[in-house]
A = this chain, B = another copy of it.
């Protein structure tokens, strides 16, 4: 499953498994420069907050390669880094990835472009590896909240495909299975409009032989009312300082239904997804994407011509609906302001 993000030093390219066409086609998408990276991010060739962070790191590397020969390469590079960081507004890991590379540059402001390229190749590779390791640790912590026989509902794809590997929400499920929990099954909400659940979560769980059933997002209420869901675990694109979790549109509805039916609702995300500068989820910018994702599925047009649509990509789930936030430092519990501060302190992050 980890062939979906790989850097080829020979090709000087980041090779991404194109997630727009899964599961019907398994195409590779080659990013050779900043423009390709931004296109891949914006059209969701690659998506998922941690995977976006890793892509951003490699994007910085490609930008450093691209500015070779420019008189003022530092200035040209800074512009490209900013363009990458702004490619999508909601997932904080995008800027986090760029900032991490910039911080390394800031430590050696006199480095040559070639030197920087070498540093960043190592650093991007490290970001990539660390993400897999972080997800594995998250999975081990998250396993403690899953019981034998649980049916776990998840929304969108917070799996291997959304990360460098293993996954955040699906990492918790994999962690539970790796810890020997028996009879775990998954309900994947299809997650309109981009159908990450139907297409990607179903695809990667099937590949791993983890039992998964897909349902339309509309079915959540009935499934919970019938007692068919024991836990909900989702990922996040940004977690605010108060623990509000911004995630794929529709997550909030699932969380509200979960509370109504006494189903514990967990968010799984690395510390890099927590934005301590964002006071609440409602303060977070919500991306408004192309109408076509709503008006069409594949080539099939579903709305009449000329009818406008809303296509907000994310919503905020208030912290009071969240039973715990699974991170690489453990499962954070309310009150989140305190538990988040402690997790950063324990991790040695200022």
Contact = CB atoms under 8 A, between A and B. Distances in A.
6 contacts: A192-B217, A199-B302, A203-B304, A206-B306, A206-B307, A221-B315
Interface in A246-267: 248-250, 252-253, 256-257, 260
A4 to B, nearest CB: 15
B257 A195 contact: no
A286 B260 CA distance: 21
Nearest to A315: B222
A297 interface: yes
A324 to B, nearest CB: 21
B310 A223 contact: yes
Chain A facing B: main interface SS: mixed
A302 B216 contact: no
A292 to B, nearest CB: 12
Contact of A216 (B219, B220, B249): B249
Contacts of A23: 303-304
A44 interface: no
Interface string A291-318: 0001101111111101111111011100
Kindly report how many copies of this chain are found in the complex they form together: 2
A110 B312 CA distance: 63
B250 A219 contact: yes
A294 B218 CA distance: 11
A147 to B, nearest CB: 22
A253 B298 contact: no
A195 B310 CA distance: 15
A198 interface: yes
Contact of A213 (B24, B199, B202, B309): B309
Given A217-B250, A310-B213, A294 B190 contact: yes
Contact of A300 (B202, B286, B298, B309): B298
Interface of A: 23-24, 187, 190-193, 195, 198-199, 202-203, 206, 212-223, 225, 248-250, 252-253, 256-257, 260, 282, 286, 294-295, 297-304, 306-312, 314-316
Most chain B CB neighbours (cut-off 10 Å) among A187, A206, A222, A315 = A222
Contacts of A252: 221-222, 225
A332 B296 CA distance: 39
Contacts of A250: 216-219, 221
A186 to B, nearest CB: 10
A221 B256 contact: yes
A212 B307 CA distance: 7
Given A202-B304, A214-B310, 6 more contacts: A24-B301, A214-B294, A215-B294, A221-B253, A221-B256, A256-B257
Contacts of A213: 307-310
A144 to B, nearest CB: 28
Given A303-B23, A310-B223, A218 B206 contact: no
Contact of A297 (B212, B282, B302): B302
A286 B219 CA distance: 12
A315 B253 contact: no
Contacts of A295: 214
Contacts of A214: 294-295, 303, 307-310
A190 B302 contact: yes
A286 B222 contact: yes
Nearest to A202: B307
